[in-house]
């Protein structure tokens, strides 16, 4: 087994984490190997940018003899990263416990190592964006920061990106799951403007990762801006067990729009999400959408007629998308809560009754299914500011 020992947690002492490896079979009980110790058993400082600080995150075995982990500058001691000197700076490493060989896998450093006291030229890997494939063959990390000077990207070196990098465990080869720094992929470079994500450790949350289940198990969905686009959020899909199968699931001509509430259909290849009509995150300028991945990424605005001046009106209650399984003679459906106004502060939907939307013809370009507002109660009794929270929905089993 492997575990971490923290050292230097006070602000005046450099942070240096130790990786300790111990036998758990009982054959060598009590014997611990320190990864950062020399033959005399005392600490040594590895060369380059990791001399003064050494924070380790994401430590795990990929087989019986090899570890992979992130290492670099404190990602959590100063999460805001308000200055270049404080900014998160990590790389992806492997360590062979039998040979003692350590490798930098993400290769985000320049050809000439920087001075020991600077981290400004290292890559930025978001610890919260780490995930593994269900089969254990691949690991993935979310990278946020400038492209490597030695990369083969179509964008200039140093361009801020938020790409997903993959690691194949057998060969320890690093590849791009999105973007083209390590080779062409099915999804362009992803960017996340600094105005929307001021700290690298916030990147994973800002991109809103959602993992599929049921019919879409193993698929990972998240939102991000695509480089060269018009500043709009798009939904990107990645197959965790087939890392070279990535696609952009949405496409919009609107400028500066935002995507929220990405929900995955467990019974078929559909996604639901809400999309704004402008860059204003707190306005009533949003519609619910469905993308059918089984029908050539057919995308439908569920409320196309609800427009004012060419812009959508209304707002989806956060977290209210619930797919309903087909049952008996009833087709698959989507339930959600939708309002025509928002609170003055916070952008929460107001006067938002539940709606029921049959998905029987959602992928038919000629059909225009109409959402049905469910009259569960007399909403007139609730006043002008009621909100329904759709936490779960499903077919009745008693009828």
Nearest to 241 by CA among 267, 211, 206: 211
Q: What is the mean pLDDT of residues 299-304?
A: 91
Token pair recorded at residue 370:
């109409």
- Give dist(CA 322, CA 264) in Å, integer: 9
Q: What pLDDT sits at residue 176?
A: 82
Cα 238 from chain centroid (whole Å): 10
Q: List pLDDT tens digits, range 98-152.
A: 887 878 787 654 433 443 334 444 556 776 777 787 777 888 888 877 776 655 6
DSSP string, 281-309: TTSSBEEEEEEETTTTTEEEES-TT-EET
Average pLDDT, the chain: 77
What's the CA gap between 273 and 261, in Å, rounded?
Answer: 5
Give φ, ψ of 201 to 5 degrees: -70, -10
User: For residues 265 and 216, is the Cβ–Cβ distance under 8 A?
Assistant: yes
- Between 355 and 46, the higher pLDDT residue: 355
Residue 40's pLDDT is 56
- pLDDT tens track for 230-266: 778 889 888 877 766 778 888 877 777 889 899 999 8
**pLDDT beyond 90 at 321:** yes
Q: How far apart are CA 335 and CA 388, in angstroms?
A: 11
Tokens representing 354?
């539940």
Q: With beta carbons less than 8 A apart as the criterion, state whether 384 and 351 touch.
A: yes
Alpha-carbon span 390 to 306, nearest angstrom:
21
Q: Are 95 and 36 in contact (CB under 8 A)?
A: no
pLDDT of residue 110: 45
262 vs 235: CA distance, rounded Å: 8
pLDDT band, very low/low/confident/very high, at 83 (cuts 50, 70, 90) = low
């Amino acid at each position: 087994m492997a575990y971490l020992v923290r050292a230097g947690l006070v602000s005046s002492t450099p942070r240096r984490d130790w990786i300790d490896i111990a036998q758990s079979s009982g054959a060598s009980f009590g014997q611990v190997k320190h990864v950062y110790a020399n033959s005399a058993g005392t600490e040594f400082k590895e060369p380059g940018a990791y001399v003064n600080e050494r924070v380790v995150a994401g430590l795990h075995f990929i087989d019986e003899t090899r570890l992979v982990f992130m290492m670099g500058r404190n990602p959590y001691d100063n999460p805001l990263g308000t200055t270049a000197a404080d900014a998160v700076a990590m790389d992806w490493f492997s360590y062979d416990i039998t040979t003692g060989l350590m490798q930098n896998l993400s290769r985000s450093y320049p050809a000439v190592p920087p001075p020991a006291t600077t981290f400004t030229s290292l890559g930025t890997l978001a610890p919260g964006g780490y995930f593994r494939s269900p089969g254990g063959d691949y690991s993935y990390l979310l990278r946020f920061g400038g492209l490597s000077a030695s990369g083969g990207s179509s964008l200039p070196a140093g361009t801020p990106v938020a790409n997903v990098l993959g690691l194949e465990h057998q060969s320890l080869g690093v590849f791009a799951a999105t973007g083209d720094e390590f080779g062409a992929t099915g999804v362009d470079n992803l960017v996340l403007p600094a105005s929307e994500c001021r700290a690298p450790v916030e990147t994973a949350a800002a991109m809103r990762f959602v993992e599929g289940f049921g019919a879409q198990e193993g698929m990972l969905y998240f939102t991000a801006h695509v480089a060269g686009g018009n500043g709009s959020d798009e939904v990107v899909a990645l197959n965790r067990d087939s890392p070279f199968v990535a696609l952009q699931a949405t496409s919009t001509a609107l400028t500066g729009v935002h995507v929220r509430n990405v929900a995955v259909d467990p019974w078929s290849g559909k996604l639901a999400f809400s999309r704004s009509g402008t860059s204003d995150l707190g306005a009533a300028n949003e519609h619910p959408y469905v993308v059918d991945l089984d029908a050539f990424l057919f995308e439908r605005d569920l409320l196309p007629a609800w427009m004012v001046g060419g812009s959508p009106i209304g707002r989806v209650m956060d977290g209210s998308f619930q797919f309903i399984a087909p049952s008996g003679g009833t087709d698959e459906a989507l339930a959600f809560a939708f309002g025509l106004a928002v609170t003055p502060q916070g952008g929460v939907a107001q006067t938002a009754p539940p709606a029921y939307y049959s998905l029987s013809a959602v992928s038919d370009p000629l059909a225009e299914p109409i959402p049905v507002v469910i009259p569960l109660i007399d909403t007139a009794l609730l006043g002008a500011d009621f909100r329904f929270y759709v936490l779960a929905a499903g077919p009745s089993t008693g009828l």
